[in-house]
Amino acid sequence: MSQPPAKIVDIVDPRSKILSHAQVDQWIAAERGLGRRIGFTCGTFDLMHAGHVQYLHEAGKLCDRLLVAVNSDESVRRYKDPLRPINPADQRMYVVAGLADVDAVTTLDEDRPLALLLRWKPECYIKGGDYATSSLRSAPAVEEYGGSVRVIPHNFPTSSSATIGRIEAIARHAAPERVAPVEYRGLVLLDRDGTLIRDIPFLHDPALVQLLPGVGPGLAQLQDAGFALALVTNQQGIALGYYSEQDFIAVNQQLFRALAPFKISIAKIYFCPHSAADRCECRKPGTALLRRALRDFKMPPERTFLIGDHEADMQAGSAAGLRTVWAGGSFAGECTYVARDFSDAVNWILATQKQSVQPNG
């Protein structure tokens, strides 16, 4: 019997390696016809790092042709993190396909690759990590059809999550040559819908974002007075399936664009993605998000204000010990101050803060 052809590393357009599942069927049949053994691995490959490259390089050595299934955006959101991935699937697949060690790339829509393994029966199923092959849930199925399972340990102490954590940590630190950041004199927590922008039920179209009167100049005044600004918003449309976290983020980005002419910096966005039926602690009038904001900004409740347009905002704020400012329509409930509009809310906060600030504080 003649030896199968040696693996040839060619310079090819990464796009030519990206295949649909049906194309993989044909590709595998052709490669097997030439006597080549198929290796299969899968993953998210969101922020490509040295650990990915090393593991795919080692995986390539275990087979004649390496097929990589990249998790679809939807599967990452569903099974890993609703706010990930950072890079969309077409770009993640393109980067993986750009590696010489990778011969073909396709999508993985499930949380585990079992269906694809049974469809293609690769001679070798490879995973990167520090666990025993016996702990891989799909391993018995692979061994049953006669395939082998290999785990490649990571040689680099890195991960996409660690990279993101490092970026977050760096972002919180001022560069040495910059002037030290001003200590916040207080914190203003802001409801979003009906307080900063026109209230549209289950808003998810960025084109419909419309700042309410006085919001831009008002937030600028608060910021100039030394207040940190953060959003605290209920978004049960996510849990109810009216829109996704990504739609929510797109709306927030449009809000930031609308605030850009006023040079407003919203420091953080706290959101509850649950529905009222979920009975979580974060949905206002629950106080979990407010308490988290106080911790994050190291701010006592006495120096924190909440502006909102719903009774749940006022209840949450007062339960967390904050001063609550109503900036909605007519109101009969309880709050610290009923403002005529957003400008009035801002003026009241500035006047109140002035009274309570110590001469040296």
Task: List residues binding Mg ion (CB under 5 A).
Answer: 191, 193-194, 309-310
Instruction: Phi first, then psi: give them for residue 150, nearest 5 degrees.
Output: -130, 140
Least distance CB 311 / Mg ion (angstroms): 10
Instruction: Please give the C-alpha separations between residue 174 and each of 168, 169, 177, 181, 184, in angstroms, as whole numbers.
Output: 12, 10, 8, 7, 15
Q: Which 8-state DSSP code applies to residue 301? A: G
Q: Kindly list the strands in the beta sheet with 268-272, ordered across the sheet, starting from the edge strand earlier in the chain.
A: 268-272, 227-234, 186-190, 304-308, 323-326, 337-338
Q: ∠ CA 73-79-81 to the nearest 5 degrees?
A: 70
Least distance CB 101 / Mg ion (angstroms): 52
Alpha-carbon Rg for the chain, nearest whole angstrom, is 27
Least distance CB 209 / Mg ion (angstroms): 14
Q: Looking at beta carbons only, is 55 or 305 nearer to Mg ion? A: 305
Q: Looking at beta carbons only, is 14 or 194 nearer to Mg ion? A: 194
Q: Looking at beta carbons only, is 123 or 309 nearer to Mg ion? A: 309
Cis check for the bond before 359: say yes or no (omega within 30 of 0): no
Q: Looking at beta carbons only, is 198 or 263 nearer to Mg ion? A: 198
- 132: amino acid identity, one letter: A
Least distance CB 313 / Mg ion (angstroms): 6
**Checking DSSP bridges between strand 323-326 and strand 304-308, what pairing results, if any?**
parallel
Least distance CB 190 / Mg ion (angstroms): 10
Q: Looking at beta carbons only, is 310 or 323 nearer to Mg ion? A: 310
Least distance CB 338 / Mg ion (angstroms): 15
Q: Looking at beta carbons only, is 69 or 190 nearer to Mg ion? A: 190
- DSSP assignment of 43-110: E---S--HHHHHHHHHHHHTSSEEEEEEEPHHHHHHHT-TT--SS-HHHHHHHHHTSTT--EEEEE-S
Least distance CB 13 / Mg ion (angstroms): 50
Q: Looking at beta carbons only, is 31 or 193 nearer to Mg ion? A: 193
Q: Which two tokens stand for residue 338?
A: 């009923």
